[in-house]
Amino acid sequence: MDGGSGDIQDVWYAARAMDGGSGLKTRSMQFVNATKFKSAIVRAVLVSALAVLLASSPNALADESPRLILQITVDALRGDLPSRFKNVLGDGGFRYLMEDGIHYTNAHYQHANTETIVGHVSLATGTVPAVHGMVANVWFDRELDRLVYNIEDSNYHLLTAGADIDRKTEIDPTQKAATVDGRSPNNILTSTLSDEMAIHFAGRSKIFAVSVKDRGAVSLAGHSGKAFWFSKASGDFVTSNYYYEQYPDWVNAWNARKPASAFSGKSWELMHPSSKYLFGDADDRDYETDLAGFGRVFPHAYGEADDKYFTTKLTLSPAGDELSLDFAKMLLDREQLGQDEVPDYLAISFSSNDYVGHLFGASSLESEDNLARLDRTLADLFAYVDKKVGLSNTLIVLSADHGQPEAPGYLHELGIDKAHYFDTKVLDKTPAIAALKKQFGIGEELIEAYFHPYIYLNRDLISKKELDQALVEHAVAAELKKFRGVADAVSSTALRTASLPDTVLVRSILRNFHPKRSGDIYLVFEPNVFINEFDGLTVASTHGSPWRYDTFVPVMFAGAGLTAAKVNRPVTPYDIASTLAAYLNMKPPSGAIGTPLSEVFVK
């Protein structure tokens, strides 16, 4: 059951009135002056005025709260990209957000590891990885003695047979690290905004999240919502039995239509004449990745539906986002989101921009056209939400899980030659580390692994040789700092004992540090230096650094009668969850550190 006008609902209204949240004041007043409305007299006046209001206009209060929170994440959307590629954008998509909404143009993450799960969970929980615990896409679990994929959970399994990762064709190296097909949010240590909605509205809020990437959906659905994601193996949107014992009928109906197959034999083509694009005359660059015949130039052919990499290619193009939109529209309709006065929550994470950026770079014709196509996808989504719920009843927020670097090849063309790739696989065999090992009397492998962003040392060997872990960490980190392309190497023991200088970089690494999940040494490469080889697949660029191009994301609020504004003061994406919580008069998520953004409360 969701909503209704029974006793509990009346109590809810009354409680909101007692909190100082009523239709009698504007939201900005309510937010700024909430504490001034605590006296019993004011309260009594408010409650009686409220009773009159309720009697005369039953919908007056329902209009106050949005019926739907629509949280959109665009994977790897660096903060400058929507404005930079504005020439290829139409009406009703990004322009609606930027021109009719509130556009924060100076939003940066403050944690060091700007990877997908880290950013998504930071958006969901309003806090840093040191608090929410999702420190990396993968980490080495010392208790399990194996690598762990962020949301894998052996207590659960996928509801669809044959939808597990196909190891032969999976190109996402982090997803490939998963050893079981089960997925759940159980590794997320603090509550999400969606959890707080479930708690606050007594389980009446409908909470859903959709993405091509499993981690893009599971993160935002939180512990209480429902998540759906795209399986490249089966071509369906799937979920795990953490969420459902069996699929709702509409999910079976959507999958039975086989929407992915509609792209069979088709190609990703340019939306506009090439002269309209900033990169219209720069399609073919030798540093772009040609994956399984997808090519470096338009048109990019998807191949036939039974080809091995067919569904993978859909995710590397605007098709992945179009499938997510199609699924989300059916969800919105069939789950009746936003149809009563209890606010519902729908999160959609559009993944294609990230994959396109990895393969072709942020400054490529592919990235530019993908954004133009995503802009149409957003316009379609907003028009649909307007029809079904009303944009005035919907609070939209869009951000990204991280930004994006430039491909070194692109920078080289411009005479910026500091950019290069770094090989972490040979670290243990370098002369400097070999000399150090000799000093410690170690013949075996000391640097056991590098799983971004951490180096893992051979702890068994260190204790067998009766060496001091802190000393070895410190010595290895000191050597690594001298390597070309390394900006800093920070030992976890040093972080624990606070024996480091208070620098911007160290702070960002500390915000990323979780004692049970972080590795032994945090390695920071210099700007525009990164690893580009994932499990045999070479890509044009990789995000994940603490540098500004990776921390920079857009934050845009729209709908719900907000007053348009462009805001350039520094804000953080952690502020989003706190803003939404304050907007709904709820308590913030349990670990939230963000500050509510005041512009969102001005009407």
Binding part of the chain for Zn ion, among 146-154, 271-279, 351-359, 365-373 by CB under 5 A, reads 351-359
Shortest Cβ 97–Zn ion spacing (Å): 20
Residue placing its CB nearer to Zn ion in the complex, 370 or 394: 370
The two structure tokens encoding residue 338: 């936003």
Residue choice 75, 473, 526, 575 for contact with Zn ion (CB under 5 A): 75
The two structure tokens encoding residue 82: 């929507």
Shortest Cβ 209–Zn ion spacing (Å): 15
Tell whether residue 550 is a contact of Zn ion (CB under 5 A): no
Helix 116-125 and helix 193-200, axial crossing angle in degrees, nearest 10? 30
Are the C-beta atoms of residues 404 and 79 closer than 8 Å to each other?
Answer: no
Of 362, 270, 363, 260, residue with least CA distance to 313? 260
228 forms beta bridges with 210
- Site size toward Zn ion, by CB under 5 A: 5
Q: How big is the CA angle at 297 (ends 296 and 301), to the nearest 5 degrees?
A: 90
Of 332, 366, 328, residue with least CA distance to 349? 328
The two structure tokens encoding residue 417: 């030659």
Binding string, residues 414-443; x marks residues near Zn ion by CB under 5 A: ------------------------------
Binding part of the chain for Zn ion, among 112-120, 193-201, 277-285, 411-419 by CB under 5 A, reads 112-120
**Alpha carbons 463 and 461: distance in angstroms, whole number:** 5
Residue placing its CB nearer to Zn ion in the complex, 73 or 518: 73
Binding part of the chain for Zn ion, among 76-84, 318-326, 385-393, 429-437 by CB under 5 A, reads 76-84
Residue placing its CB nearer to Zn ion in the complex, 75 or 236: 75
Phi-psi region of 460 (alpha: psi -120 to 50; beta: other; left: phi over 0): alpha
Question: Please, is 29 exposed, middle or buried when counting C-beta atoms within 10 Å of its C-beta (0-12, 13-18, 19+)?
Answer: middle
Shortest Cβ 578–Zn ion spacing (Å): 22
Shortest Cβ 354–Zn ion spacing (Å): 4
Residue placing its CB nearer to Zn ion in the complex, 160 or 351: 351
**Alpha carbons 219 and 208: distance in angstroms, whole number:** 11
DSSP state of 88: G
Single-letter amino acid, residue 442: I
Residue placing its CB nearer to Zn ion in the complex, 112 or 427: 112
Shortest Cβ 353–Zn ion spacing (Å): 9
Q: How big is the CA angle at 440 (ends 437 and 444), to the nearest 5 degrees?
A: 45
Binding part of the chain for Zn ion, among 6-14, 68-76, 104-112, 465-473 by CB under 5 A, reads 68-76
Residue placing its CB nearer to Zn ion in the complex, 30 or 116: 116
Single-letter amino acid, residue 449: A
Tell whether residue 575 is a contact of Zn ion (CB under 5 A): no
Binding part of the chain for Zn ion, among 108-116, 124-132, 489-497, 551-559 by CB under 5 A, reads 108-116
Tell whether residue 354 is a contact of Zn ion (CB under 5 A): yes
Of 352, 354, 365, residue with least CA distance to 296? 365
Show contacts with Zn ion in window 191-210 (CB under 5 A): none
Shortest Cβ 484–Zn ion spacing (Å): 28
Residue placing its CB nearer to Zn ion in the complex, 75 or 369: 75
Are the C-beta atoms of residues 521 and 490 closer than 8 Å to each other?
Answer: yes
Residue placing its CB nearer to Zn ion in the complex, 138 or 337: 138
Residue placing its CB nearer to Zn ion in the complex, 407 or 446: 407
The two structure tokens encoding residue 400: 């990204």
Are the C-beta atoms of residues 589 and 198 closer than 8 Å to each other?
Answer: no
- Cβ neighbours, 10 Å, residue 549: 20
Are the C-beta atoms of residues 400 and 78 closer than 8 Å to each other?
Answer: yes
Shortest Cβ 213–Zn ion spacing (Å): 8
**Alpha carbons 509 and 502: distance in angstroms, whole number:** 11
Residue placing its CB nearer to Zn ion in the complex, 172 or 428: 172
Binding string, residues 390-409; x marks residues near Zn ion by CB under 5 A: -----------x--------
Of 398, 602, 578, 559, residue with least CA distance to 67? 559
Name 36's Cβ contacts closer than 8 Å, sequence gap at least 6: none
Shortest Cβ 21–Zn ion spacing (Å): 35
Show contacts with Zn ion in window 47-66 (CB under 5 A): none
Shortest Cβ 118–Zn ion spacing (Å): 9
**Alpha carbons 23 and 63: distance in angstroms, whole number:** 8
Shortest Cβ 117–Zn ion spacing (Å): 8
Binding string, residues 114-153; x marks residues near Zn ion by CB under 5 A: --x-------------------------------------
Residue placing its CB nearer to Zn ion in the complex, 368 or 401: 401
Q: How big is the CA angle at 346 (ends 71 and 162), to the nearest 5 degrees?
A: 115
Shortest Cβ 543–Zn ion spacing (Å): 7
Shortest Cβ 355–Zn ion spacing (Å): 9
**Alpha carbons 258 and 262: distance in angstroms, whole number:** 7
Residue placing its CB nearer to Zn ion in the complex, 150 or 160: 150
Shortest Cβ 587–Zn ion spacing (Å): 29
Residue number of the CB atom closest to Zn ion: 116
Residue placing its CB nearer to Zn ion in the complex, 77 or 584: 77
Q: How big is the CA angle at 259 (ends 94 and 249), to the nearest 5 degrees?
A: 105
Point out which residues bind Zn ion (CB under 5 A).
75-76, 116, 354, 401
